[in-house]
Amino acid sequence: MRKLVITFMFFFCCVPAVFSKHCLVGTNACWESGKYEIISDIEVSNLKIRHVRQTDSKLCAERSQNDDHIEMSGPINPDTPFIIERLLKKIEDSPNRCRGKTGTKYSITVFLNSGGGYMKDGYELGEMFRREQVSTRIVNNAECYSSCATAFLGGHYRGLEKEGKLMFHAPYSYTFGYDVSCSKKDAKLLSYMKTMLNDTDGEFLYKRTMSYCSKSSGWSLNRDAAEIFGLLK
């Protein structure tokens, strides 16, 4: 697995088409070596999604093959699953898709950094991740809260780095002003968590999630906690 490091260097000029240092969108986690190319740099309101290609990956069996991934930073909304699904199809259909020596395709990684958004879009995103056997990953200095955490569970493989942040809370609706109201039961959320994990871990996560009714805080986990509760794979 490629190692990410934290950097505080800023760039004030345009990003070249191919470069030897790449920082994930919305974070200061960077790869210090390798040849990277930003294929798509999409911005819709506050949502940023990139399709990035490493052209010199040692994972691929042939030099002509590319190791592509997707980076997402911003709110989970109806545009998020739509855009990411389009990009996944583009990568999947590429004749230069990265493969192992046996011809097996590697799982496409989607890097997540989001404070959350609409829960229904989190479900859709997570279900699409599972269907496409995507790897979801939260790197150092990235956060994945609320509906982002729900989508993260859909990853066929799920990774959380030491300084990454994962947080769950009960779905809520607004009442008066900025007050929120959370339902005591959510059958859809329970079913989703059991499907993405297993009955035991899914039910435990559901109970912990529903015990936090807040729009800004919740059940927060670091990497070791997420692993012990069966959230990583």
142: its two tokens: 């990235």
What value does the mean pLDDT take over residues 95-122? 95
Q: Angle at the Cα of 68 (from 64 to 74), degrees rounded to 5?
A: 160
Least confident stretch, 61-75, 186-200, 208-222? 208-222
As a whole number, the mean pLDDT across the chain is 90
Residue in 60, 40, 169 with CA at minimum distance from that of residue 105: 60
Task: Output the pLDDT for position 149.
Answer: 98
Mean pLDDT of 151-171: 96
Structure tokens at 45: 């309101």
Q: Report whether 231 contacts 158 (CB < 8 A).
A: yes
- Establish how many alpha carbons lie within 13 A of residue 204's alpha carbon, considering only the half-sphere containing its beta carbon: 9
Q: Looking at the DSSP assignment, which residues form a beta bridge with residue 64?
A: none
Domains of the chain listed by start with CATH number:
5-170+217-228 (3.90.226)
Please report, rounded to a whole number, the percentage of residues in the chain having pLDDT higher than 70: 89
Residue 178, pLDDT score = 65
What is the spatial distance between Cα 162 and Cα 72, in angstroms, rounded to a whole number?
19
pLDDT for 130-139, tens place per residue?
999 999 999 9
pLDDT at 176: 66
- What pLDDT was estimated at residue 19? 63
Largest separation between any pair of C-alpha atoms in the chain: 59
Strand order in the sheet with 219-221: 143-145, 165-168, 219-221
Interval 176-201: pLDDT, tens: 666 768 878 999 999 999 999 999 99
Q: Which of 170, 117, 141 is nearest to 25 (CA)?
A: 141
Q: Of the given ranges (24-28, 96-100, 174-178, 222-226), which has the lowest mean pLDDT?
A: 174-178
Integer Cα distance of 233 and 227 in angstroms: 8
CA 119 to chain centre: 15
Total count of residues recorded for the chain? 233
Q: What is the pTM of this model?
A: 0.88
| Residue 216: per-residue pLDDT | 78
Q: Which two tokens stand for residue 53?
A: 């290609």
Question: Please, which pLDDT band fits residue 160 given cuts at 50, 70 and 90?
Answer: very high
**Which tokens belong to 197?**
């994990």
